[in-house]
């Protein structure tokens, strides 16, 4: 916060010019600005105008006193690291590289110097697909929101009104239950087979799967600890995953310990095994680990699963999120719905 007053300096040298004295209560720094008048009345008028500027726009004062952008970024990353998974942290770091490249190019070092014009120019200068632009804008906006909330600044985020091109989402392919069983049967690594099964029959992400410990498994439920967004959850186990767990226990009884992680493999090792297994099983297409989770939801919905129940199993924030992604796999029941009129 700044405190303003007027003062005459160098009076001992005969100067009668009035100065605006600014005292920053946060940094304890004092600055002087010549008012170019020797009349006290005029100096007092200027003082009142300067005070009104601060009173009418106190948020600008807060923004101008923020630490440098890169210092704010490091503080934000510390916050992200303590609340999100390592994969999310790495994603945020990589996507902010374009932001700081732009700031370096335009010599922007302060939060207050980055305007809505800069935000719009940055987003539209990126030579990337529309959906990637939206993802980057989401992260830039999240960073700026964190700064505004952390420092209690009541002003609009400069990324709020930046428009990104809308693109039609591609229809994602998925594996049927029969194809998933074929993948499992062609996987020669018993540990990675179980890893596939958790993703296919519980809808887990690869990071959540690799973090599982034996103590997270109960007779009928599985506990997800520190999942996406740092959230925990308890989910029911299907008979399919129960059978896979028992199969694994029969082949590797000495490796089961409540305190130990179930898997000692890396995501890269699992991805490599998936590609080899799909080739062996004769399953073509874009085969990747997240396709297991996508197939989990798709198979439930195409077989008549309740959208709200599937949304909860997927741990989506709202059922509308599930519908937005998986509406194309819902059964075409329009004709059956019209038959209700006949009844």
Per-position DSSP letters for 216-232, written without gaps between them? GB-SSEEEE-S-GGG--
Within this chain, domains 69-150 and 177-329 share the same CATH topology:
no
pLDDT one-digit tens code per residue, 21-73 = 988 877 788 999 999 999 998 998 898 888 776 655 566 777 888 899 999 99
Domain boundaries defined on the chain:
2-56, 69-150, 177-329
Q: How confident is the model at residue 13 (pLDDT cuts 50, 70, 90)?
A: confident
Sign of CA dihedral 66, 72, 76, 78: negative
Q: What fold characterizes domain 177-329?
A: hpI Integrase; Chain A (1.10.443)
Task: Give backbone dihedrals phi and psi of 110, rounded to 5 degrees, phi first.
Answer: -110, 145
Structure tokens at 144: 């700026």
Q: Report helix, strand or coil for 23.
A: strand
Averaged pLDDT, 272-280? 95
Radius of gyration of the chain (CA): 30
Question: What does each C-alpha distance from 283 to 68, 194, 253 come to in angstroms?
Answer: 52, 19, 31
Residue that wins the pLDDT comparison between 58 and 287: 287
Q: Is residue 239 over pLDDT 70?
A: yes
pLDDT one-digit tens code per residue, 59-110 = 677 788 889 999 999 999 998 888 777 778 888 898 899 999 999 999 999 9
Q: Is residue 266 over pLDDT 60?
A: yes
Averaged pLDDT, 210-214? 92
The confidence score (pLDDT) of residue 99 equals: 93
Q: Which residues contact 242 (CB under 8 A, 6 or more apart)?
A: none
Going by their DSSP bridges, the two strands 233-236 and 221-224 should be labelled as antiparallel
Look up the CATH number of domain 69-150. Answer: 1.10.150
Residue % of the chain over a pLDDT of 70: 90
pLDDT one-digit tens code per residue, 240-258 = 999 999 999 887 666 666 6
**Nearest alpha-carbon partner for 101 in 126, 138, 68, 75:** 126
Q: Report helix, strand or coil for 277.
A: helix
Give the DSSP per-residue string, 237-258: PPHHHHHHHHHHHHH-GGG--T
The confidence score (pLDDT) of residue 340 equals: 63
Question: What does each C-alpha distance from 219 to 19, 239, 245, 310, 322 come to in angstroms?
Answer: 78, 11, 11, 21, 28
Of the listed ranges 104-108, 186-190, 329-333, the least confidently predicted one is 329-333
Structure tokens at 34: 């010549």
Averaged pLDDT, 196-214? 94
Residue that wins the pLDDT comparison between 3 and 185: 185
Contact 177, 299 (CB under 8 A): yes
Quote the pTM value. Answer: 0.59
């Amino acid at each position: 916060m700044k405190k303003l007053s007027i003062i005459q300096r160098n009076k001992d040298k005969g100067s009668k010019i009035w100065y605006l004295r600014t005292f920053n209560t946060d940094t304890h720094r004092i600055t002087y600005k010549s008012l170019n008048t020797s009349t006290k009345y005029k100096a007092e008028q200027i003082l009142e105008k300067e005070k009104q500027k601060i009173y009418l726009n106190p948020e600008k004062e807060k923004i101008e006193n923020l630490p440098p952008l890169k210092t704010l970024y490091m503080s934000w990353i510390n916050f992200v690291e303590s609340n999100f998974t390592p994969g999310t942290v790495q994603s945020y770091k990589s996507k902010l590289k374009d932001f700081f490249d732009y700031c370096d190019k335009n010599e922007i070092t302060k939060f207050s110097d980055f305007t809505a014009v800069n935000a719009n120019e940055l987003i539209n200068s990126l030579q990337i697909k529309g959906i990637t632009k939206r993802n980057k804008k989401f992260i830039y906006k999240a960073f700026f929101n964190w700064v505004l909330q952390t420092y209690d600044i009541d002003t609009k985020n400069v990324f709020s009104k930046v428009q990104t091109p809308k693109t039609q989402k591609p229809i994602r392919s998925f594996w049927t239950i029969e194809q998933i069983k074929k993948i499992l049967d062609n996987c020669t690594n018993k540990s990675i087979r179980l890893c596939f099964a958790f993703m296919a029959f519980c809808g887990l992400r690869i990071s959540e799967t690799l973090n599982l410990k034996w103590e997270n498994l109960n007779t009928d439920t599985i506990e997800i600890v520190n999942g996406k967004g740092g959230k925990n959850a308890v989910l029911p186990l299907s008979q399919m995953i129960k059978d896979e767990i028992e199969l694994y226990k029969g082949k590797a009884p000495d490796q089961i310990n409540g305190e130990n992680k179930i898997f000692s493999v890396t995501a890269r090792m699992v991805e490599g095994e998936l590609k080899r297994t799909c080739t062996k099983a004769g399953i073509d297409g874009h085969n990747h680990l997240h396709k297991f989770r996508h197939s989990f939801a798709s198979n439930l919905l195409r077989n008549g699963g309740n959208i709200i129940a599937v949304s909860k199993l997927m741990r989506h924030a709202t059922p509308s999120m599930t519908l937005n992604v998986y509406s194309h796999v819902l059964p075409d029941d329009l004709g059956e719905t019209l038959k209700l009129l006949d009844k």
